Amino acid sequence: MQKIFDTLINSYIEDKVGIATDFLSVELSLLLKEHLLSIYHSQQFNSAGIGNDTIQNHDKLLRSDQIYWLDKSHNTTHENSFFELMDAFIVYLNATCYTGITGYEFHYAYYEKGSFYTKHLDRFKNNSDRAFSMIMYLNTDWLLADGGELRIHHTDKSIQNISPISGKSVFFKSSELVHEVLETHQPRLSITGWLKTG
């Protein structure tokens, strides 16, 4: 895994957006996708809001995805495998980059056809715990025409579009880059979350 971790970290250092195409193995991606769909079809997802527990806004003109929070207390095989991967990545990230990450939070995200998320930053105004954002995609056979790209607005005004292809992971600083999810023309699945310092 060290090589994949290095790919993600080094591309972040070079361009402020880390990308690794195989951060999730093919097997784990498929198992997580099946798990996500099972939970979604059992109607355990909730409409996503903007903000944290203190400030919460459910405006579907800003964000129209649905989410399900992952938690070690669920003690499910595939979530546990994901957490083991993240634990290993954080140990490596802290050892090589001295980032001081102490925890994380992740959720499944399901974007139905026609869903989107407008431009935003991931760090809250009233809480600076989120240090890095991570998105891992679970979409097999994704086509350019399917839309749903992650659009990064770099500080130099350039724009970067990232297709949500299965296994790919994206990594960037939560307080730095404005980003959005363009309208998706097919159901779009991911694990999204944040590495935290508090």
The CATH number of residue 46's host domain is 2.60.120.620
User: What pLDDT does residue 59 have?
Assistant: 54
Using 50 as the pLDDT threshold, list the residues of the chain that sit under it.
51-52, 54-58
User: What pLDDT does residue 123 have?
Assistant: 77
User: What pLDDT does residue 55 have?
Assistant: 44
Domain span holding position 172:
2-52+61-196
User: What pLDDT does residue 125 have?
Assistant: 67
Domain count, the chain: 1
User: What pLDDT does residue 128 have?
Assistant: 79
Distance CA 165, CA 156 (A): 26
User: What pLDDT does residue 47 have?
Assistant: 86
Name the nearest CA neighbour of 191 among 52, 55, 31, 77. Answer: 31
User: What pLDDT does residue 61 have?
Assistant: 67
**Beta-sheet strands, E only, within the chain:** 18-20, 46-47, 50-51, 56-57, 66-69, 103-111, 117-120, 130-137, 150-153, 159-162, 169-173, 178-181, 188-196
User: What pLDDT does residue 50 have?
Assistant: 52
